[in-house]
């Protein structure tokens, strides 16, 4: 069928008794109008969404939810115009007490600013608000995020050391708790299909006997059959406790 795309995926993780997966289909009904369904396996839960763009320049409207529970549907409005983007997700609409998750961003050259908040549309109460800023200079990216109603502040710097290697550091500070922690990570792309990362985190200040928490992860992916991609991931920490996962994805 013209305009129909189907994707199936399956993932097996260590410790899981059986793999989990999903089958997703997308149908372009008409210009600007598409319908998408996704079935989670083996749970059998189904979600569906319909989206329309073009009613107003830059505006996209999406309605999504469980077809068996239409009153619980979510409505998303997304507006992108020039350097400004705004998204609003409305939930609990049928209950008469709708909630809104509002996100806004502004981009100018290498500078990006963002803000988000959860709004009770009945009382007007605002919670879970956050602010973020990012600037890119050559191979260096600096970012600051104030989340959890500005109670958690994160500052980070990421640097591309060469075409295949990147390093990043992040410091997190809890305003009310007056506590801080830091993390350092280095990632390297060994080939188009394989990459690895090592990360270390610790509470601040680092004192004698401080507990460091190194985590090593490897990831590889490649084509295993026609229109089918396979991926393998592996992760371990200082206790040598290993986590792994295998995923296959097929496009029809």
Question: For residue range 89-107, what is the model confidence (pLDDT) as tens digits?
Answer: 999 988 889 999 999 999 9
Q: Determine the 3-state secondary structure of 208 from DSSP.
A: coil
Range in 88-102, 116-130, 173-187, 207-221 with the lowest mean pLDDT: 207-221
Average pLDDT over residues 196-212: 83
Band of the pLDDT at 208, cuts 50, 70, 90? confident
Average pLDDT over residues 154-160: 98
Q: Which pLDDT score is estimated for 1?
A: 65
Of 237 and 64, more confident: 64
Average pLDDT over residues 47-70: 90
Provide the CB-side half-sphere exposure for 41 (13 A, CA): 11
Assigned domain for 114 exists: yes
Closest CA to 40 of 14, 9, 83, 12: 9
Q: Is the dihedral of CA 40, 44, 45, 46 positive or negative?
A: positive
Band of the pLDDT at 25, cuts 50, 70, 90? very high
Contact 46, 25 (CB under 8 A): no
Contact 242, 232 (CB under 8 A): no
Assigned domain for 219 exists: no
Closest CA to 36 of 71, 76, 84: 76
Assigned domain for 91 exists: yes
Instruction: Specify the number of domains making up the chain.
Output: 1
Q: What are the phi and psi torsion angles at 176 (to 5°)? A: -70, -40
Indicate if the pLDDT at residue 79 is higher than 70: yes
Assigned domain for 192 exists: no
Indicate if the pLDDT at residue 209 is higher than 90: no
Query: What is the Cα–Cα distance from 25 to 37, expressed in whole angstroms?
Result: 5
Indicate if the pLDDT at residue 217 is higher than 90: yes
Query: What is the Cα–Cα distance from 182 to 199, expressed in whole angstroms?
Result: 11
Q: Between the CA of residue 88 and those of 9, 32, 59, 93, what are the distances in Å?
A: 29, 19, 11, 13
Assigned domain for 116 exists: yes
Band of the pLDDT at 15, cuts 50, 70, 90? confident
> pTM of this prediction?
0.79
Domain of 81 in residue numbering reads as 55-137
Assigned domain for 113 exists: yes
Closest CA to 50 of 71, 72, 69, 28: 28
Q: Which pLDDT score is estimated for 133?
A: 98
Indicate if the pLDDT at residue 68 is higher than 90: no
Q: Which pLDDT score is estimated for 252?
A: 77
Indicate if the pLDDT at residue 56 is higher than 80: yes
Assigned domain for 228 exists: no
Q: Any residues with CB less than 8 A from the CB of 126 and at least 6 apart, and which?
A: 117, 118, 119, 120
Assigned domain for 98 exists: yes
């Amino acid at each position: 069928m013209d305009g129909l795309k189907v994707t199936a995926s399956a993932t097996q993780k260590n410790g899981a008794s059986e793999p989990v997966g999903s089958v997703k289909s997308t149908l372009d009904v008409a210009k600007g109008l598409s319908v998408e369904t996704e079935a989670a396996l083996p749970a059998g839960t189904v979600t569906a969404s319909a989206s329309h763009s073009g009613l107003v320049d830059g505006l996209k409207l999406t309605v999504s939810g469980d077809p068996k529970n239409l009153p619980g549907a979510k409505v998303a409005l997304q507006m992108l115009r020039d350097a400004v983007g705004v998204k609003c997700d409305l939930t609990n609409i049928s209950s008469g007490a709708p909630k809104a998750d509002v996100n806004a961003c502004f981009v100018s050259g290498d500078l990006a600013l963002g803000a988000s908040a959860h709004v009770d549309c009945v009382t007007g109460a605002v919670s879970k608000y956050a602010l973020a800023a990012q600037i890119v200079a050559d191979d260096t990216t600096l970012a600051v995020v104030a989340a959890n109603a500005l109670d958690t502040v994160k500052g980070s710097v990421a640097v591309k050391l060469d075409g295949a290697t990147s390093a990043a550091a992040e410091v997190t500070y809890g305003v009310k708790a007056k506590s801080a922690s830091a993390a350092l990570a280095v990632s390297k792309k060994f080939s188009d299909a394989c990459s690895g990362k090592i990360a270390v985190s610790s509470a601040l200040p680092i004192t004698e006997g401080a507990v460091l928490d190194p985590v090593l992860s490897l990831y590889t992916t490649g084509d295993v059959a026609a229109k089918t991609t396979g991926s393998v991931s592996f992760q371990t920490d200082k206790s040598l406790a290993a986590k792994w996962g295998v995923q296959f994805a097929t496009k029809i």
